[in-house]
Amino acid sequence: MQRISQKRRRLMLGAAATAALAHPLSVLAQGAEEIVIGGSIPMTGVFAFAGVGINAGIQDYVKIVNDAGGIKGRKVKYVPEDTGYKVDVSVAAFKKITSQNKVNLYYGDSTGFSKTINPELERNGNILMAGASFASELNDPKKYPNQFLVGPDYTEMFGILLKHIAKEKPGAKVAFVYSDSEFGRDPIEKSEAEAKKLGLSVPIKIMTPAGSVDVSTEVIKLRRAAPDYTIFHGYILAPIPEFITQGKQQGMKSKWMGTFWTMDSSTVMKMGEAGEGFMGVMPYRYYYDTEKAPMLEKIRAMRPEYQSTAYMQGFLAAMLFLESAKRCLDAGKPLTGANLKAALNSIKDFDTGGLIGVPLTITGNSIPVGRVYKADMKAQKMVAASDWIKL
Amino acid sequence: MMDWAYLFEISLTGIASGGLYALAALAFVMVYKATRVVNIAIGEMLMAGGYLFFTFAAMWALPLWLAIPAAVLACGLLGAVIERTMIRPLLGEPPISVFMVTVGLSSVLIGLVEMVWTADQRRLPEFMPSDPIMVGDAFLAPKVFWGAVVAAVFIAAVLLVFRYWRGGVALRATASDQAAAYSVGINVPRVFSLAWVASAMLAAVSGIIVGSIGGISSSMGVFGLSVLVVVIVGGLDSVLGALVGGILIGLVEALAGAYLGGEYKLLATFVVLVVILMARPYGLFGTHEIERL
Amino acid sequence: MRIGTLKESYVADAALFDSRTQHAWLAIAAALLLLFPFMASDYWLYMACLVAINVASATGLNILTGYTGLVSLGQAAFMGLGAYTVAILQTRYGTPFLLNLLAGGVVAMLGGIVVGIPSLRVKGLYLAIATIAASFIAHFLFANFQITGGTAGLSLPPARLLGMDLDTSFRLYWLIVPVTVLMLLGAANLFRTRIGRAFIAIRDRDISAEVLGIPLLRYKLLSFGLSSFYAGIAGGLWAYFFRVVTPESFPLSMSIFFLAAIIVGGMGSILGGILGAVFMTMVPELLKLIVDLLSGGAGLAVFLSPVRLVVFGALIIGFLVFEPLGLAEIWRRVRRFFHLWPFRN
């Protein structure tokens, strides 16, 4: 009795196993001749505020293009996956999307992901990638030939700020306050050298441990260095307002500046009193900028509520993606990574419709252009404090 | 040449921020003293208190004198719920099981906070006096100072409560011998609930103060790791140890940050932890546990 | 309840797999493992490799925590040691990958022994907290030295086998899975030997174990060493799999993940380690699938990450409250049911 059961059991399980294996685990789900933009987007987790904006930005631009008939008759398909800003989830999403679609363009959510996926990109050979990262390391066309940054890298951002400072106050003292992470440490060394070249001095560099709550000791150190300008990098919001509040209380006369991820309008407005006059570098126009910008007006028509700078970043990324695709197809070349990159690098004096205030030229992996904006707390807006600076 | 003024200023700030640690450590000790449970989710309970305050004060715009007690009470309720659903069923299980439950709890709390309030960083409305405190030439940030004052007040209150109030004595009795406490007529399950509620309320106060300094975010809970070091140094079940340990760790962090650099802060803290674990494993004031076969 | 298992020699009695049914199951499992890579898409191969690495590391942690009773929250740090060793050797010296893996295991083992030294003075939760400290110290070392590439980390070229680059999930599968299987067999065999029994004795009552003549410090250090050796090799495999190693790659939350995996799977059994690692690695993917099905778009996806956290925590709490012996116990119950079927109970 038991023997028969065993055999039957074995047969049943064998059949089940074969059935399971025979089920195709990969399905090619894509219309013919579509241009596919894949995305590992951090729609939840610590970077969610950016991820949601980026997702909306890419979606909107793809819609604009599709409504106008696509690129040379081909429709554009956007396939995002949420990653929670974790590298391994990001990589898994990449594998999933590329196994289910023929992907031409990909948006990555972090520096870690961009570095990890690079060898895979090279092997795949058919994808051009951009992402939310502005890491200086990625700005190397030899090491990262299939990737590009949608703006200046962090060192270039510092460069823009330093150039502005050197013009406003030659020989000034500039302090760097940055977070203990790859994000924070990225531009510090090179920027210190750049500052010296511009005739500025860096009296102190303060690194704060990640997740630190109380920065009183650091503020004391900063006060003793008595800088004319203080640049914060590697943070989104905290601990900048605390630094500024305590610094002002201690009588510091420094001007306060930040880099891209701090400079979203809603983030700066959260600083309250401390944010009055806060400056920073922003490569894009803000949603509410009233200078002539046809693309901004289109965006405002599509989305009546405020859209963050992350949205602008996603929108511009999609724009550059599809412009490269268009130039590739115009030249009759197949959509491979190398061809798309070459097409991207052929972009000269390109008009983004006002998203960036000056025409773009992309010779390497980044777009070293930006403007210094200042916070006007009364108007609850960021206003331009300089011209568009090109490096 | 030593810059004494600098040293004094740094030390002052260190001691005051140590007061913040002490308050959170007190919440931890409260639970351990009564129930022998190591609550590693203390940082997340702190975060919950901060977010509840944010909801009452900023989102519902309640006046401060209403918002603060409301947040504290709400957090106390949370503590009671946690105790009933997750800790009570594990009575009698090995301590590592309960420890892992609190690990799971911290995950759940972070997830809930992210679901309701998103993972964005936020600032709490300002409510503490903002005049800088000057001790001679040395400057002390007002928030940190007042936070330390609040901490000292609560610690003194708790010490008195444990000494003189029946409930406090019951807590100590339950901590030293559950069976004996039962036989004397103490309602042990009620004491457990009380301990968790009190701990949660203290954590809420701590969270409000810490949140008003550094803002609130879903990753605020890492504060709990430093608190863990403080209670190990001070003694897991000693209220006085929480105070002394907090001040000591605050001082060590401030000095390390000032003289060595920001990246050494956490390292210095954990080196102190390892030293204490090797030299006096039960902390400076903890009761020595005798292992019986 | 198995009948008809008569043994006629000591060797047969002590064998790991002793009945024909078990042999049959093993054969099926081996066949499935061999056929899987040819049937699966890139995504599933990727998941399989990740699961295998997690199984290896979880088994190591099981040796330390499940069998010896020493709670450790430093497993990720030891994996980091192994990963960095492999990365440094591969990028600087180009040594063959097997050698690198072994070196990674050895370095991690040494690290484990150092961390284990306080284990005689310090017990239980205090030891767990000491391992947290070790985790942070390791992170500091990784982030602040030139040789480890600082905060940017190291990226390494793929392992080479017979002139072929192991750079796709398909090829890496053939490296990772056999190594993991070997490690599993090693661990299972460990608990048939004197050393394994000593570990179990230490877990049950270490003072009594010492009275019985087991030198505590030596065996505790051995346990730490073995478990971190496993972690080191898993870390090395991780390095070859992801090809980028940074200080952020091995955070405390990863150690918590492994501890959760063995709790959910069932501490103190090899099967528990396997089930736990597989389950905890696949749950986030399953969640994603469910959320996708429920929302059909990006609507509910905003909640995916926090839901994942809540589910993770709830699983730990749930298993501890309702099934402290983990998935392995559930598996045993199911097996018992089928053994008696069709006779009910």
Q: Where are the domains of chain C?
A: 40-343
| Beta strands per DSSP E along chain B | 133-135, 138-140
- Rounded distance between C-alpha atoms, residue B219 and residue B203, angstroms: 16
* pLDDT tens for each residue of chain B, 293 residues long: 567 888 888 888 888 888 889 999 999 998 888 888 889 899 999 999 999 999 988 888 888 888 889 999 999 999 999 999 988 888 777 777 888 899 899 989 988 998 888 777 788 887 777 777 777 777 778 888 888 888 888 888 888 887 888 777 888 788 777 778 888 888 888 888 989 999 999 999 999 988 888 788 888 888 888 888 899 898 888 888 888 999 999 999 888 888 887 778 888 888 888 888 888 878 888 777 666 55
Burial B128-165 (b: 16+ CB within 10 A, else e): eeeebbeeeebbbbbbbbbbbebbeebbeebeebbeee
Those residues of chain C whose CB sits closer than 8 Å to some CB in chain B are 71, 118, 121-126, 128-130, 132-133, 136-137, 140, 143-144, 205, 207-208, 256, 259-260, 263, 303, 305-317, 320-321, 324
Are the beta carbons of B262 and A224 separated by less than 8 Å? no
CB within 8 A of B235, min separation 6: which ones? B241, B245, B282, B283, B284, B285, B286, B287
Nearest to A238 among B130, B144, B215 (CB): B215
pLDDT of residue B248: 92
Nearest to A44 among C21, C158, C303 (CB): C303
What is the rounded average pLDDT for all residues in chain B? 85
As a 3-state breakdown, chain C gives helix, strand, coil percent values, each rounded to 5, of 75, 5, 20
Among A46, A188, A206, A220, the residue to mutate for chain B (most B Cβ within 10 A): A220
Per DSSP, C251 falls in state: -
Are the beta carbons of A92 and C43 separated by less than 8 Å? yes
pLDDT of residue A13: 53
pLDDT of residue A22: 42
* pLDDT, block means (10 residues), chain C with 345 residues: 70 74 86 88 87 96 91 93 92 87 94 86 81 88 82 78 79 90 92 90 87 90 95 94 85 90 90 93 85 66 75 90 88 84 69
Q: Which residue from C305, C298, C302 is spatially nearest to A58, judged by alpha carbons?
A: C298
Contact C55, C180 (CB under 8 A): yes
Structure tokens belonging to residue A299: 């965006």
pLDDT of residue B4: 80
Q: List CB contacts (< 8 A) between B105 and chain C.
A: 313, 317
Q: What ipTM was reported for this prediction? A: 0.84
Contact C72, C131 (CB under 8 A): yes
Structure tokens belonging to residue A198: 């511009």
Q: Nearest CA to CA, how far is B218 from chain A (Å)? A: 8
Q: Cα dihedral sign for A88, A92, A93, A94?
A: positive
- Rounded distance between C-alpha atoms, residue B189 and residue C282, angstroms: 39
CB within 8 A of A193, min separation 6: which ones? none
C40-343: CATH architecture: Orthogonal Bundle (1.10)
Beta bridge partners of A208: A179
pLDDT of residue B45: 94
Among C307, C319, C321, the residue to mutate for chain B (most B Cβ within 10 A): C321
Are the beta carbons of B17 and A216 separated by less than 8 Å? yes
Q: Nearest CA to CA, how far is A171 from chain B (Å)? A: 26
Q: Nearest CA to CA, how far is B129 from chain C (Å)? A: 36
Phi (first) and psi of residue C123, to 5 degrees: -120, 165
pLDDT of residue A7: 58
* pLDDT tens for each residue of chain A, 391 residues long: 445 455 565 555 555 544 444 444 434 444 557 889 999 998 877 788 888 889 999 999 999 999 988 888 889 999 988 887 878 788 888 888 888 888 999 999 888 888 888 888 888 888 999 989 899 888 988 889 999 999 999 999 999 999 999 998 998 999 999 988 888 888 998 999 999 999 999 999 998 887 677 788 888 888 888 899 999 998 888 788 888 888 888 888 899 999 998 888 888 888 888 888 899 999 988 888 888 788 888 888 888 888 888 999 999 999 999 999 988 888 888 888 888 898 888 888 888 888 888 888 888 899 988 999 998 888 888 888 888 888 8
CB within 8 A of B196, min separation 6: which ones? B31, B35, B79, B80, B82, B83, B87
Are the beta carbons of A44 and B219 separated by less than 8 Å? no
Among B120, B225, B251, B267, the residue to mutate for chain A (most A Cβ within 10 A): B120
Q: Nearest CA to CA, how far is B278 from chain A (Å)? A: 26
- Rounded distance between C-alpha atoms, residue C112 and residue C224, angstroms: 5
Q: Cα dihedral sign for A260, A264, A269, A270?
A: negative
- B293 touching chain C per CB within 8 A: yes
Phi (first) and psi of residue A37, to 5 degrees: -105, 115
- B290 touching chain C per CB within 8 A: no
